[in-house]
Structure 1
Amino acid sequence: MQKKINFPPIIYLLVLALAGSGSYWLLTKKSTPSSEAIAQTTPISKPTPQIIVQPQPVKALPGQLDTVPMFNSNSPEWVKTEGILLSTFPSTGKAVPTAHLNFPFQGRFDVFIHHQTHTPKDLQTFYLGVMLHNPGKQPVAVDVLQAATYLTQDAPYITLPTYQENPENTAYAGPGDRAVHDVLQGKRQADSPAKLVIPPGQSRMLLNHPTPVRNLEKPINGRSALMRLNSSGRVYAASLTMFAKKNPDGSDKAPTLEEWQTLLNTGSLAGPRDKAPTPPEQTSGQLIYGRVAGVQQGSKWQAQLVDSPGAKDFTIPQSGQAVSYVLSTLRRGRLGTNQNQTARMLVRYPDTAYESHGNYCVEYNLSLPFYNPTDKPQTVTLTIETPLKEDKLSRGGLLFQKPPRDFPFLRGSVRLRYKDEQGKENTRYVHLWHRTGQVLEPLETLMIPPGSRKSVQIDFIYPPDSTPPQVLTVRTQ
């Protein structure tokens, strides 16, 4: 996963040009006494950011990823040609054997899809299909536990407030952001089947949805989807993309199951391909994480944050002190902990990511059983924040800066659950939109009476189009 904002390519070029210049240029058309009606260029220097060091302890996150496999289809990100995005079918009988990874699913597994297109030929509509195949001799039932999919046009990448209450999923910045919040809330969209029954030796479509660009203000669109499934038997999965055929009236026609099967059997990988990733053994020079296309191991990380293994309490920091726990760490971004939380790939294409960098769509469940050992009430704050990325802490603590860097590195929702002072269960859904290095106000503030305990549960699904690593900081005021 490369650090980027999902804007059109022309915007990328503009941002790169501005960033490389070291200053912005203001063009004015007003004439001056010394230059009659000649345009002036006046440099406006960008302020030197103030680096802020937070020297509190930074700890690895307890727990580990589970072993639930995730079908992760995210390369190529920008699609221009028809073809196979990701296939775990066997290669036997296929025209392009290298496009098939031969990995069956059974029991619990997840499907994550995230692809975009920009100005396809003749502004044709891309259809995105997800096919499941039963290779056995008995019917297989696939339960769709949760499912959500959105287009970029329905969930655009926009600037939002740093914090925004989001109980109804009305705050989002990107289709992946919107989709994972639905799943966090346990939803299955109305157009998603509750169950697929696949006869022996046959296939069924789990998803067959368009990504139109015609009649949009800009011919750019994409689709993100997250589905949690449970299969009673072995199934293979494939994500594919093809241009829509036309109905007699000129409208788009959804591809049939037979057309998808023909593409699977005869097609090659869709393009253009993303940049090849840097091999894990390379420890210096440019690092290209690459986009993911394969099956990763792990879809959930459960963590009990306590004083030590086997303990039952999280003793709050002393007054004025803090502690941070890392979230979604990755190669060269471990923030001094030596912990790489990234899911490993069980199968992958050779030109795609070696690991699932960023843990897109991995759910984090964090339990914090706070204990106040003092004889006075204490105020504790919780903040999820994005420090400047480092592998080792070069200045003895997490680095932030004022002003923060321009790009949003975290945009998604979290759920907080705890009992208030009256013992009533309190649940908040809060959308976060944070720039990297941003110094933040707390996400939540709690008062813990003397000698008492208060448990807090924080849950979130790491949102696509965010950039790791992050930390959870607990501070006693």
Structure 2
Amino acid sequence: MAQVSSSESSPSESSPPPEEEVEDVPFVEVFFPTEMRPLPGRLDTVPVFNSNSPEVVLEEGVLLSTFPPEDRSHPDAHLDYAFEGRFDIFTHHIARARTRSQTRTLFQGILLHNPSDRTVRVEVLHGASYLTRPDALFVELPDYVDDRLGTVYSGPGSRATNDVLRGKRQGNWPAVLELKPGDSRMLMNLPIPVGRVVPSSNGRSTLLRLLSDGPVYVACLAMFAPRNGSNERIPTLEEWQTLLDTTGLSGPRDLEPTPIDRIYDVDRMIYSRVAGVAVGSRWEAQLVDSGKLESDDSPQLTVPEPGRSFSYGLSTLHRGRLGTEQIQSARLVRRYPDTAYYAHGNYGIEYNLTLPLFNPSNNPRQVSLLFQTPIKQDLVNGGLTFLDPPENRVFFRGIVRVQYNDDEGTPQTRYVHLVQRRGQAGDPLVTLNIQPRNKRLVEVDFIYPPDSTPPQVLTVQTETR
């Protein structure tokens, strides 16, 4: 997400180039009455290695290290956190060249180390890593595209989260990595090439879900390709280990965050970018009526009266709670002092939401579910604000999975690639005709993709016949 924000975030460095200039279009603010509700449930406790600072990498060094600081030249670059059991790795970094002298290939390495006295097995459950070029160019797509085969994406974050949501493990990842006592091994050793035509840039997004049966330290590192004469080559394990032990943090450093105790006192808040260990890989919740518990035998979510709606905030954050008083940003248990205090944006975090929609009336009701990107606000007064037309800036690009029984009772699973711009109200993900005194179960799942800007909402709306 953007580093600087007032009422709205500015575009991310990781966003595609701005669209061509067009004539100024007047944006009309449209008020959408809706009842805002906090999202039930909470993030789980799975730790996430989250490396997104610096986003643009121009200097070699440590991007994020959870190794112990002892016996290393720059102890402040190491956060001393061992992962064990389920954990995730999310990284997103960009290489950039403004002159021919800067076109040397940047390599990104992820190093694992077993500090214990027994062999540790690390399973790669799901995972994907893509470059912007040539793997996943930012292409212009329609707002809604059905993606049954997983071939629709725009940008590396969109493609990586698409794969992982479908439970895929990209072919270049090992199923299991074994580390002997005291052993270190490269989990990833991949380039971010910028090409020879300047100015130029390229990015790589990576999302991995792992399971370790023992403690492991993790480091994400940046190194320019070593050379044999004039030819570039892949860095060796020994070269990565030396870089880890002898260099400090990579640069240039991103903007420092606004202190949490001052965020409501300043005109412009700096969220900064994330480099640390976040807590929470998945938000799972059953959306039910107030006073009901998710564990009730017959949970239900009563649909609104015709012409009315209610909405749940998604990826809400400081100064963007949309009136819910809820901050969903994952907390950080390890971070560098000049990086974000929370994992704002929840990049790589999966939302699993179940809606047991219930029509209590004696008449059929037509109910729609909408995924929307309202204007970011902290407080709202009875509704959300959208723009007509929406701005050109894309604030969400990624896959949403919707599972339900259609009006004929046939089970449906739809993968929809959404592109939403700032202030876009959106069209329904699904519309159901719910019969009197009947219940219809809908499941909505998505992984919050990089190159998006929170918050969004999930709206339940009963149409007026």
TM-score using structure 2 length? 0.92
Aligned residue for 2:28?
Answer: 50
1:8–1:220 Cα contact (<8 Å) kept: no
Residue 300 of structure 1 pairs with residue 282 of structure 2: yes
C-alpha distance after superposition, 1:247-292 (max 9, x if no partner): 56x5431111111000000011110000001000102222000000
Aligned residue for 2:248?
Answer: 268
C-alpha distance after superposition, 1:196-244 (max 9, x if no partner): 0001001111111111112468621010100000000011000001011
Q: Residues of 2 paired with 1:11 and 1:382: CA distance?
A: 32
1:69–1:298 Cα contact (<8 Å) kept: yes
Aligned residue for 2:365?
Answer: 378
Aligned residue for 2:354?
Answer: 367
Shift of 1:453: 1.1
Q: Residues of 2 paired with 1:459 and 1:208: CA distance?
A: 31
1:319 alignment partner AA: P
C-alpha distance after superposition, 1:417-438 (max 9, x if no partner): 1122333221000000000111
Shift of 1:130: 0.3
Q: Map of 1:22-33 to 2, 5 A cutoff?
A: none
Aligned residue for 1:152?
Answer: 132
Q: Map of 1:11-22 to 2, 5 A cutoff?
A: none
Q: Residues of 2 paired with 1:424 and 1:11: CA distance?
A: 42
Unaligned runs of 5+ in 2: 3-8
- 1:264 alignment partner, SS class: helix
Residue 174 of structure 1 pairs with residue 161 of structure 2: no
Aligned residue for 1:243?
Answer: 224
1:6–1:157 Cα contact (<8 Å) kept: no
Shift of 1:55: 1.5
Unaligned runs of 5+ in 1: 19-23, 25-43
Shift of 1:11: 5.5
CA pair 140-84 structure 1, distance change in 2 beyond 3 A: same
Shift of 1:48: 3.3
C-alpha distance after superposition, 1:319-352 (max 9, x if no partner): 1111101100000000011000010000000000
Shift of 1:9: 10
Q: Residues of 2 paired with 1:252 and 1:172: CA distance?
A: 31
Q: Map of 1:25-104 to 2, 5 A cutoff?
A: 46-104=24-82
Q: Map of 1:206-225 to 2, 5 A cutoff?
A: 206-215=187-196, 219-225=200-206
Aligned residue for 1:35?
Answer: none
Aligned residue for 1:444?
Answer: 430
- 2:30 alignment partner, SS class: strand
2:16–2:138 Cα contact (<8 Å) kept: no
CA pair 210-93 structure 1, distance change in 2 beyond 3 A: same
Shift of 1:194: 0.4
C-alpha distance after superposition, 1:38-60 (max 9, x if no partner): xxxxxx6x343211111110000
Q: Residues of 2 paired with 1:9 and 1:428: CA distance?
A: 27
Aligned residue for 1:140?
Answer: 120
C-alpha distance after superposition, 1:163-200 (max 9, x if no partner): 01112222212111110110000000111000000010
Q: Map of 1:315-330 to 2, 5 A cutoff?
A: 315-330=302-317
Counterpart of 1:387 (choices 371, 374, 386) is 374
1:111–1:227 Cα contact (<8 Å) kept: yes
- Matched positions, count: 447
2:350–2:446 Cα contact (<8 Å) kept: yes
1:448–1:454 Cα contact (<8 Å) kept: yes
CA pair 170-260 structure 1, distance change in 2 beyond 3 A: same
Q: Residues of 1 paired with 2:413 and 2:58: CA distance?
A: 43
2:401 alignment partner AA: R
Q: Residues of 1 paired with 2:202 and 2:16: CA distance?
A: 15
Q: Residues of 2 paired with 1:149 and 1:169: CA distance?
A: 15
Shift of 1:397: 1.3
1:129 alignment partner AA: G
Identical columns (%): 51
Q: Residues of 2 paired with 1:9 and 1:456: CA distance?
A: 32
Q: Map of 1:121-136 to 2, 5 A cutoff?
A: 121-136=101-116
1:406 alignment partner AA: N
Shift of 1:476: 0.7
TM-score using structure 1 length? 0.90
Counterpart of 2:421 (choices 414, 417, 435) is 435
Larger Rg: 1
C-alpha distance after superposition, 1:395-451 (max 9, x if no partner): 431000112122110111010111223332210000000001113221211111222
C-alpha distance after superposition, 1:97-126 (max 9, x if no partner): 000000110000000010001107441011
